[in-house]
Structure 1
Amino acid sequence: MLIWTLIRQHQRLHCVYSKYETNRMSRWNVPADATDALQLQFGALMREGEERGEIRFPDLSGEQQLVLAGDYSGEHSDAKYQVVSLLLCGMSDCMGNWDADRTAIRDQHLADGRRHAFKKLHDASRQRALVPFLSATSDINGILLSVAIDKDIEKTDLGYQFPFETPSTELVHAKLIRIATFGALLVSGLGAVGQDVMWLTDDDAIVANDEQTTHAVNVIDSMLTRMCPFGLGEVCVGIAGKFDDNRLAEDLCAIPDLAGGAISETLGLLDAATIPRESGRSSVVQRESAFKAKIIYTWIATLQGKLSTAVCLVRPHESGGIQMSFANPTVDLGDSDEGSEPEPVSDKWRASSTSW
């Protein structure tokens, strides 16, 4: 049984959370001179969750270069939420054991170079590679943040304006701002002075052509400057599919792709009225999700490795602003004596599972 439990919720208020700025034990950094209202609110939510043991953060302070890989789900018309999923970790971690493991998985299951992708998990080779890939990814020292944004506010730019013109549509521009904002918040919260940042994005409308890519780089750079007043080192923005690196960049972006796809599908099975707006309450997913979503959702909910996860819901508030909430995906496995595990829903998944 799949369950969503609301951790905490706040309206977007212009408040100063000064008490958190003195909490030196927290791994989440709120710059002492931060004045951005959303940054203060987001940081307060993160630290509250950390203090209660509901969210844990990696220590990335010793990394010279951070990697932020992003992918975006929920673009289809039936989706209720657009999900921005972001993986933040250290470059040294990506180039170590994880790179060796994911290369071995490729050699065994995806030797022809095909990509990991949630939408393409009907493919038997990708199905065989899925669980080994997720298992290897669990040991990345990083955080996987998925921000689910209600489609009723998909045009919101979170109130941020820029001094340069946009070549994109209103929807694409708003999406870019949200991606840049939450990515910059992650870097600000867990980054350190002078660290370099490699920002990777999958092929998407926000980088559809050279003009749009230049605009995306400008917006990302502006948001990093705004959210990271402590000063970063060199910042590079790249499109994963354009790297000649044996699919390394694409495999990094595949992690948020898989997570975002599962979260988007699972949220789509919930009636909006059943998603709580008060902390400490749960919402049970009553309808059946696809088997691929169940596997990935269960992985997110039961992670035991170094990788940590967080899921943030962004919804309209009755005051006209937005409401941010953090939720814990959980799985009720039931009593082991009640019966055996359910069979995969198709012959392909049944065959694929024998390789796990």
Structure 2
Amino acid sequence: MSVWRPVTDNLSGYLFSLSDSLRLAEAQNPDMLVSVHRGTMVLASDYSGQHKEASHEAYSFLITTDEALIRWLPSLSEFRGQWLPDGRRISFKKLNEPVRWRALPAFLETVSELEGNLITILVDKRVGSFMSGGPEATVEAFPDCFDARIKKGTIEKMFRLASFVALILAGFRHQKQVSNWISDHDEALDSHDKREKFARLATYLTFGLTGWRQAADHLFATTESHMAPYWSEDVAAVADLAAGAYCQLSGYLPAFVGRETWRMRLNPSSIENRRASAIGNWLAESRGSLKHALLRLEQDSEGEVRASAQAFVGR
């Protein structure tokens, strides 16, 4: 039985395409995802590629449960005590710092023990607005979700992030399951008012994708919130590493090859960024409890936006 619950409304645009791509990938690889239905769902997310020089944006989500976290936290404490007792955070941008770089293999090995799914959505920056008509149409459709003075770029970012949160919840959560989401503290969520309006927007989109009417609570906080648990930054760091690595790997990984399903060999020696190479090797070689998948939205040579789903598979 498949873990991923695909979106069925083909009028859902890019979300339908991304969802259907993962449906096809899981059908070919039945063990690529793990169920997260037992207990409270816990999501942690981080993002990369927002700077002007980047060709892609990455939105990464770690999806697990409170029960899985309880089993895993002793391993995290052991890692912290041995490798980073001073409390410094693992992050993709700071991996060139010697202490963090030395700790990375042990951190990734520890993360492999956490039962859950690591899903990253990589979006070509040539892809236009997720709403037909652009940010103006988004505000018109959801007038109670945006402040009158908000920038167009922030509108699009909030709409994309809310769309991806809705997609993840629709695909992995069931209606009566409580979920908690911990996000990096970024532009889309940097004020109380934005967070309140974002929550409303994500709710609209989630109910639209799922058809839920009496869903259990979905709560969220940022990593800077005083309410965030002590382990939140380490769990969000997993998403941060994946997002940063996939942005660096965007030019090396296939987008689509003209067939419904495919398998390709990647030459690790061609990857110049050692941080991305280390994380890519971990994804390919890991045999632990954490599963992973990459979803891509890419513009082809004809200018059409197409979706694909893929995962590293070791030899």
TM-score of the superposition, structure 1-length normalised? 0.76
- Structure 1 CA distance for aligned equivalents of residues 120 and 53 of structure 2: 19
Q: Is the Cα–Cα contact under 8 Å of residues 55 and 310 in structure 1 kept in the other structure?
A: no
- Of 182, 187, 190, 2:164 maps to 182
Q: Which amino acid aligns with 2:144?
A: F
2:157 counterpart of 1:157: no
1:77 is matched with 52
Structure 2 unpaired stretches of 5+: 133-137
Distance 2:100 2:60 in 1: 20
CA distance in 2, matches of 1:35, 1:294: 36
- For the Cα contact (< 8 Å) 1:87–1:142, is it kept in 2? yes
CA shift at 1:59, angstroms?
A: 1.6
1:16-165 residue pairs with structure 2 within 5 A? 25-30=1-6, 36-38=11-13, 39-53=15-29, 56-63=32-39, 65-96=40-71, 98-153=72-127, 155-159=128-132, 161-164=141-144
Letter in 2 for 1:198: N
SS at match of 1:242: coil
Counterparts in 2 of 1:304-323, with a 5 A limit? 304-316=287-299, 322-323=305-306
**For residues 58-77 of structure 1, what are the alpha-carbon distances to aligned partners after superposition, in whole Å with 9 as ceiling and x for unaligned?**
122222x1111110011222
Mapped partners of 1:86, 1:144: distance in 2: 6
Partner deviation per Cα, 1:176-215 (whole Å, 9 max, x = no partner):
2222222221221221131111111111111122232222
Q: Which residue of 2 aligns with 1:289?
A: 272
Cα offset, 1:322, TM superposition: 2.6
- Structure 1 residue aligned with 2:135: none
Instruction: Tell me if the contact between 1:197 and 1:235 (Cα under 8 Å) persists in the aligned partners.
Output: yes
Deviates more, 1:226-235 or 1:81-90: 226-235
Which residue does the alignment assign to 1:195?
177
Alignment partner, residue 212 of structure 1: 194
Q: Supply the distance in 2 between the matched residues of 1:84 and 1:223 (Cα, whole angstroms).
A: 17
Q: Which has the larger radius of gyration?
A: 1
For residues 289 and 92 of structure 2, the distance between their equivalents in structure 1, rounded to whole angstroms, comes to 23
Distance 2:125 2:18 in 1: 20
Q: Matches of 2:93 and 2:49 in 1, distance apart? A: 11
Quick check: 166-175 or 301-310, which moved more? 166-175
Matches within 5 A, 1:252-331: 252-268=235-251, 275-279=255-259, 280=262, 282=264, 284=266, 287-316=270-299, 322-329=305-312
Judging changes above 3 Å, is the alpha-carbon distance between structure 1 residues 208 and 46 closer, same or farther for their aligned structure 2 residues? same
Deviations 1:70-113 (A, max 9, x none): 100112222211011111111221122x2111122122222222
Q: TM-score normalised to the size of structure 2?
A: 0.85
* 1:203–1:110 Cα change, 3 Å: same
- 2:47 match: secondary structure: strand
What do residues 273-294 of structure 1 show as CA deviations (whole Å, max 9, x unaligned)? x754423264756744222221
Counterpart residue type for residue 171 of structure 2: G
SS at match of 2:144: coil
What is the number of equivalent residue pairs in this alignment? Answer: 301
Distance 1:212 1:40 in 2: 26
- Judging changes above 3 Å, is the alpha-carbon distance between structure 1 residues 288 and 317 closer, same or farther for their aligned structure 2 residues? closer
- CA 319–295 in structure 1, closer or farther in 2 if over 3 Å, else same: closer
* Unmatched 5+ stretches in structure 1: 1-24, 333-356
Matched residue, 1:238:
221
Question: Structure 1 residue 229 and structure 2 residue 202: aligned?
Answer: no
Q: Distance in 2 between matches of 1:191 and 1:294?
A: 32
